[in-house]
Amino acid sequence: MLNVVYCTDNGYIIPTAVSILSLIENNRSVSLSIFIITNNINKSSRQLFENLCIGQNSTITILPLTNDLDRYSRVDNKNNNITTYARLLLEEMLPETVDKVLYVDGDTLFIGSISNLENYVFKEELICGVYDFSLSDYRVKRNISFRQDDIYINAGVMLINLKAWRMKGVSQKCKELLLSSSKYLLGDQDVINIVCKDKIGLLPMNYNMTGISAVLPYYFNRLVMDDYTFYYYSQKQMKVAQMNPIIIHYATEIFGKPWQKQSHSVYENKWIEYRKKITIENINYDNRYYSSKKIITIYKKVVECIILPFYKHKLWGIVAILYYLFYKIPHKIQFWVWRLKCL
């Protein structure tokens, strides 16, 4: 039995349902116990989730949130859906019998099997995940006093040692840290990495493939990814991950997400295949979100228009160079400006 947990609300029903369906269909040999922590979802959405496991080797348990998450909105710096903070409540929301759980964001798509995680044995790790190789904002680690070579995982896919998590009071420590300051650039992801520091294990890269890194060849990815990605993952490991992806995570903004208008995201056709299997009326695709600042929105739209033709024709070298010039270099400049302001 492998326990899997999602957190969602009415605004993210379809992406979450697609993720769950792809999870089930790619893991028919695995007995799955799926928990969905929800924030005020309606009756039809509940029914949609429950129908996903009919005739499958899986169960779905819906757990309504009883905690008020609005208090986290004042410390959120990325306009995140507040429901994402429900992952800090896992130890109190999930049954005591659950010692190990795979947390998964709703903006994911399963391409392969996660059966290897069923028998994963923790040593001293509190969590395991994939190094956040999409971390182009150089301020993030410095802001939380991490060295650049410290392990910092993307919290969108985490294998959690919930037994140890409870014993160490990880959730409470995370909540206290998060509410003590508004400095955290990536909210609960930052505090989870801080509290679990030195107790973080690394999963293979194919368990959390984000953005265009899922398709860019190794040498071009060196221009796109976080500089320390290659300290933890070799060229061979990256090639294996790209040839055998398990989870695609639509965590980055570039080229959008499959449920958004004018999206050109990776594995979009595969996502649409699963979407068509879900029976629900009146589906409206979301508008693209770029930034709360107009000037940044304009900048990102223009840059995407420049890169898109090369991306469509798989001219990966040009895509990587343009990405480096228009995204990574500006982030580096932003980082040094920020450092100077901190002096």
Task: Report yes or no on 338 lying in a domain.
Answer: no
- Mean pLDDT throughout 9-36? 93
Residue 55 has pLDDT above 90, yes or no: no
Task: Give the pLDDT confidence score for residue 185 in this predicted structure.
Answer: 73
> Is residue 94 included in any domain, yes or no?
yes
132 assigned to some structural domain: yes
Q: What is the pLDDT of residue 72?
A: 58
What's the pLDDT band for 288 if we cut at 50, 70, 90? low
Q: What is the mean pLDDT of the chain?
A: 86
Number of domains in the chain: 1
Q: Examine the pLDDT at 2 and tell me if it is beyond 90.
A: yes
Render pLDDT for 102-150 as a digit per residue (tens, 0 to 9): 999 999 999 999 999 999 999 999 999 999 887 655 667 777 888 877 8
Identify the band that residue 10 occupies on the pLDDT scale cut at 50, 70 and 90. Answer: confident
**Would the pLDDT of 29 be above 80?**
yes
Give pLDDT, residue 69. Answer: 63
Residue 314 lies in a domain: no
Rg of the chain (C-alpha set)? 19
What pLDDT, on the 0 to 100 scale, is given for residue 262? 81
Write down the pLDDT at residue 49.
92
Identify which of 29, 42, 30 has the alpha carbon closest to the alpha carbon of residue 4.
30
pLDDT exceeding 70 applies to what percent of the chain? 88
Q: For the residues 45-64, what does the mean pLDDT come to? A: 90
- Asked whether residue 77 carries a pLDDT value surpassing 60, the answer given is no
pLDDT tens digits, one per residue of 183-241: 777 788 889 999 999 999 999 999 999 888 888 888 888 888 877 788 889 889 999 99
User: Does the structure show a pLDDT above 60 at 73?
Assistant: no
Average pLDDT on 298-315 reads: 91
Residue 61, pLDDT above cutoff 90:
yes
CATH of the domain at 156: 3.90.550.10
Domain contains 92: yes
**Is 331 within a domain?**
no
- Give the residue from 84, 34, 81 showing the smallest Cα distance to 56: 34
Question: What average pLDDT does the segment 312-337 reach?
Answer: 86
pLDDT band at 16 (very low <50, low <70, confident <90, very high): very high
CA separation for the pair 163, 143 (Å, rounded): 30
Say if 189 falls within a structural domain.
yes
**Structure confidence at residue 338 (pLDDT):** 67
Q: Domain of 266?
A: 2-289
Query: Can you give the pLDDT at residue 154?
Result: 93
Give domain status of residue 306, yes or no: no
| C-alpha–C-alpha distance, residues 191 and 142, integer Å | 13
